[in-house]
Amino acid sequence: MARPGPGNKIIRWFFAGVILLALPLLPMLKASLCAFADDQKGWALWMAEEFSDDSYRKRWRTEGLAELTTGKAGAVRFLRIRTLENPGQREDKQSVLWFRRPVPGDLLFVFRVRAEAGNQSLFLFNANPTRESGFRTIFDRPRPDAQYVRYAGTESIEMYSLGMLRDRQRQCNIRYLGGSAVKTRSFQQGVHIPNLHAHGSPYFGKPDTWFELDLSIEGRRISLLVDGIQIAELEDAGESGELGTKWTPLTNGGYFGFRNFVPGRVEVDYIRVYRKSRRRN
């Protein structure tokens, strides 16, 4: 068998070098392909967070006690959120990581998450100050901690919440929090906040497992896919059917964030937020 000539060796080394140079660019290529695919469906990329350096701290803010660090899963960097307990206050065992800017309009959130056993995470979205509050942002009145009542028990802000990563619960839910729900006598007497939608948990018995979530809000319709499988689809009618609670559906986007509990390690990677393209008549 003839030995490869020097020309063949140069070609092989050339292609090997191209492959090595291209490896770090694979996540960006994947993101571009995803963005292109979604644009074809009428979605336009509004924000992509890769946590590639410490500049992400300028774009996000925390409430409650949380330690933020970054790690790496393959070629993709992720953010690790570890919620800490306040030694001076027993009930202070929660944190929220908010994106600082609101996103208006119909939205699609795509991100991967995983959590350690026993976690009870929430994804908060379409959060806004109520008209009655007179606030311009959800941060106008500082919260002393991230206890549930600071979000679910105030008329000054309203939002949706999505339960996720609960490996010890067979059901998860989507809820309307704050705003009009606080005005009901039943809520003031301590009755639990009713669900907009309850669904079987795809996270049950699967701690420390990566899941990809696709959550879209188009007008009153909310749709959730986990690892490409439809988990929930509903239309917010502006009432729960329980406790006489009524509200105006949250159809114009808003702030979003990740709420976490003790014990509380949650990891999030490559968050993508899309807005629905507006068609001209």
User: Do residues 81 and 97 touch, judged by C-beta distance below 8 A?
Assistant: yes
Residues 79/152/192/88 CA torsion (nearest 10 deg): 70
Report if residue 194 sits inside a domain.
yes
Query: Residue 149 sits in a domain of what CATH number?
Result: 2.60.120.200
Report if residue 8 sits inside a domain.
no
Report if residue 20 sits inside a domain.
no
Residue given tokens 């959730």 in the structure block: 224
DSSP conformational letter for 246: B
- Cα–Cα dist 128/126, whole Å: 6
- Cα–Cα dist 272/248, whole Å: 27
Report if residue 201 sits inside a domain.
yes
Report if residue 134 sits inside a domain.
yes
Report if residue 127 sits inside a domain.
yes
pTM of the entire structure? 0.82
Tens of pLDDT, residue by residue, the chain (281 residues): 455 555 665 666 655 565 555 444 444 445 444 544 455 478 999 999 999 999 999 999 999 989 999 998 777 889 999 988 766 666 668 899 999 999 999 999 999 999 988 888 999 999 999 999 999 999 999 998 898 889 988 899 999 999 998 888 899 999 999 988 776 655 555 555 778 888 989 999 999 999 999 999 999 999 999 999 999 999 998 876 655 667 889 999 999 999 998 767 899 998 999 998 655 44
123-143 confidence digits (pLDDT tens): 999 999 999 999 999 999 999
> Angle at the Cα of 31 (from 277 to 36), degrees rounded to 5?
40
Amino acid occupying residue 223:
S
Distances in Å between the Cα of 210 and the Cα atoms of 71, 104, 118 are 14, 28, 15
Domain count for the chain, please give it: 1
Residue 35: beta bridge partners?
none
Pairing of strands 265-276, 43-49: antiparallel
Positive/negative CA dihedral, 63, 64, 69, 73: negative
Domain that holds residue 59: 50-276
Report if residue 222 sits inside a domain.
yes
Report if residue 61 sits inside a domain.
yes
Distances in Å between the Cα of 37 and the Cα atoms of 66, 83, 140, 233, 244 are 35, 35, 38, 22, 42
- Cα–Cα dist 84/62, whole Å: 12
